[in-house]
Amino acid sequence: MRDYINLLKERGELRVVSRVVDPGSELAAVIWHSQQESDAPILFERVQGSSLSVISNVYGSHRRLCELVGTVPGDFCRRWQELVDHPVAEADIYRRAAAGDFPYERGKLRDLPQIQYCEKDAGPYLTAGVFLAREPDTGVPNLSFSRSMMVSDRELRIRLAPPHDLTKYQAKAESRNQALDVAILLGPPPAVFLAACASVPYEADEMAIAAAIRGAPMPMRPCEKIDLQVPAETEVVIEGRIIPNERRPEGPFGEFLGYYVKQGPNHVFEILNVTWRQDAVFHALVCGYPEDLRALEIAFASRVYRKLTGSLPGILDVSCNPSPMHTIVRIAQQFEGHAKQVLLAAFASHLQYNKICIVVDEDVNIHDFNDVWWAVITRCRVDRDVTIIPDVPGFHRDPGGMFKGRLGIDATRPFGENSEYERKRVQGADRINIRDWVPR
């Protein structure tokens, strides 16, 4: 990750804050303001109460995500499916890091930046930690995300979401009255972070996907207190175990939907060891804002894309912009009614999250919601091209029923009338680099 940070810095794409920042009352607010005007990552060099610097918004740009997987905007889903479908063979996933290659030191949880993100959060949280665990029977590794409330040097309280494989691992271990060993990776190599976003079958090896994204074996080192190997390039590693048959109060916490999740009984993570690389960079992610939403988009958009391309022609790209509850599909129309078939198939592909779906033509930028809404305004006949499906259950956490029902919008040109809907283009716009005329 630090190699990528350095690359972004060399290219002038990294914002750097050199003044001391308070992690309890200022840091998240500065990230929020920065994200309102720029998709640039932001690095805090001096964080009050910690020797570690903090990085945020590394993955908050669709363009950068495309770069990390070796493709260009508009082709992410196709390239992602290619990587997921062709993971690296087991013998080529890992290499043992040589002693001294990635020196690290030991410390306590209290030494890490104590970041409070939202006003009513129960306290400081880890939000960007990648959980690495192994299936209790097969040993297949899983990478996933869970919010973690920082309680003490010995304890985190974590939220395990119902559909996640890690939740199934823990349930299996707990049924045997066993703890589940887990390493929390903060600032792992980008390939590991991206692989943790993948939506893959239970038996899939997500470290093999990480190696495919990386294009080379992953240097690994053994943990000190648990029987796991972790990527040696990871900035911070928290070793521990999820205690069986133990639940303690966790929350409230400001979640990705923009609301607080109330306090409730959640799992207990016993901290056994905390290590970090020399001059470590701590990864902080503000939930519900660009870096979080682009990570969620990887999982949901790729899942919809896979389902659609498996059953329908002409599927070009999928986006979950601006939220994973909202899907946009870009198509090359093949026949009358094509967009309506796409809407139905998209809803069926992920029944928890596809509350609203919009289908657009190939000349629309689905990663720019202004462009998508332009298509709705100019190509959707609302008395004919809007479909409402009532009372369909949606997101699992929905006490008020706000996620019931589906809204589908066909914002494509009338079939066969392309010439009537040709978009105007400004003369010479494709040959001009604005920075040649208006420097930053």
pLDDT at 397: 66
Q: What are phi and psi of 305, to 5 degrees?
A: -60, -45
pLDDT in tens, 111-153: 999 999 999 999 999 999 999 999 999 999 999 999 999 999 9
Estimate the share of the chain in helix, then strand, then coil, as percent rounded to the nearest 5: 30, 25, 45
Residues sharing a CB contact under 8 Å with residue 217, sequence separation 6 or more, in sequence order: 88, 92, 93, 94, 95, 211
Q: Write down the CATH number for the domain with range 291-415.
A: 3.40.1670.10
Model confidence band, residue 351 (pLDDT cutoffs 50, 70, 90): confident
Model confidence band, residue 362 (pLDDT cutoffs 50, 70, 90): very high
Q: 102 versus 163: which is more confidently predicted?
A: 102
Can you give the residue ranges of every domain in the chain? Answer: 1-58, 89-278, 291-415
Contact 160, 166 (CB under 8 A): yes
Q: What is the mean pLDDT of residues 416-420?
A: 89
pLDDT at 149: 98
Contact 405, 389 (CB under 8 A): yes
Mean pLDDT (the chain, rounded): 93
Q: How many C-beta atoms lie closer than 10 Å to residue 11's C-beta? A: 8
133: which strand partners? 142
Pick the CATH number of 89-278 from 2.30.110.10, 1.10.357.10, 2.40.128.280, 2.40.50.140: 2.30.110.10
Q: What are phi and psi of 83, to 5 degrees?
A: -65, -45
pTM over 0.85: yes
Residues sharing a CB contact under 8 Å with residue 40, sequence separation 6 or more, in sequence order: 13, 14, 15, 34, 57
Q: Which of 400, 258, 412 is closest to 332 using CA atoms?
A: 412
> Is 196 a residue whose pLDDT tops 80?
yes
pLDDT in tens, 300-334: 999 999 999 999 999 999 999 888 889 999 999 99
